């Protein structure tokens, strides 16, 4: 039941947006500067995008990466799944174990509803609709609002860059 949006997913969406700003081939160092990472990480993030057929990669001095997909037809959820793998692993949100309708954990029902809502939203959001330059900058500092969700540490080796805010439950009665 885990859904993680890591730095890799964030960069994949921004990489697609950067590729969509100009036609033709883009060199990894130029893309890296556009999305705020290294050329090596651009290559790692681009690999699943090439596999999905959204990006073309051409080697050589005149090569580079080029967008071949219409970003209006690619959802943010598709990008996350291309980069991170399937979003439904059947794992419990509370413990690293299987979780299902039979023998569910205490949060199974509300988490399943919240997760379904989040997946619908991510599936409806197209990459074309993502703002071009929405990444936080070091000099901007973190946004300071009480409405920000708490940051939950990701598993070792992964940096989570987004958390989901679930709408408040409706009063019962």
In this model, does residue 23 exceed pLDDT 90? no
Task: Give the pLDDT score at 156.
Answer: 42
Q: 0.85 exceeded by the pTM?
A: no
91-125 confidence digits (pLDDT tens): 777 777 777 777 788 888 888 888 889 899 999 99
56-94 confidence digits (pLDDT tens): 999 988 889 999 999 999 999 999 999 998 887 677 777
Residue 86 tokens read as 């399937």
Domains in the chain, start-ordered, CATH in brackets? Answer: 7-135 (1.10.10.10)
Pairwise pLDDT comparison (164 vs 128), residue with the higher score: 128
The SS3 call for residue 10 is helix
């Amino acid at each position: 039941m885990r859904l993680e949006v890591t730095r890799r997913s964030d960069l994949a969406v921004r990489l697609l947006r950067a590729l969509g700003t100009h036609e033709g081939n883009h060199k990894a160092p130029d893309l890296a500067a556009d999305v705020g990472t290294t050329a090596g990480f651009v290559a790692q993030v681009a690999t699943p995008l090439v596999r999905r057929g959204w990006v073309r990669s051409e080697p050589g001095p005149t090569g580079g990466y080029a967008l071949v997909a219409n970003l209006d037809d690619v959802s943010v959820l598709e990008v996350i799944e291309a980069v991170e793998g399937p979003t439904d692993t059947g794992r419990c949100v509370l413990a690293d174990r299987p979780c299902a309708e039979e023998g569910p954990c205490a949060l199974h029902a509300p988490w399943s509803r919240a997760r379904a809502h989040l997946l619908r939203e991510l599936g409806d959001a197209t990459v074309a609709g993502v703002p071009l330059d929405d990444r936080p900058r070091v000099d901007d500092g973190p946004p300071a609002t009480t409405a920000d969700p708490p940051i939950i540490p990701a598993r070792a080796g992964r940096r989570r860059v987004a958390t989901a805010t679930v709408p408040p439950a409706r009063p019962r009665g």
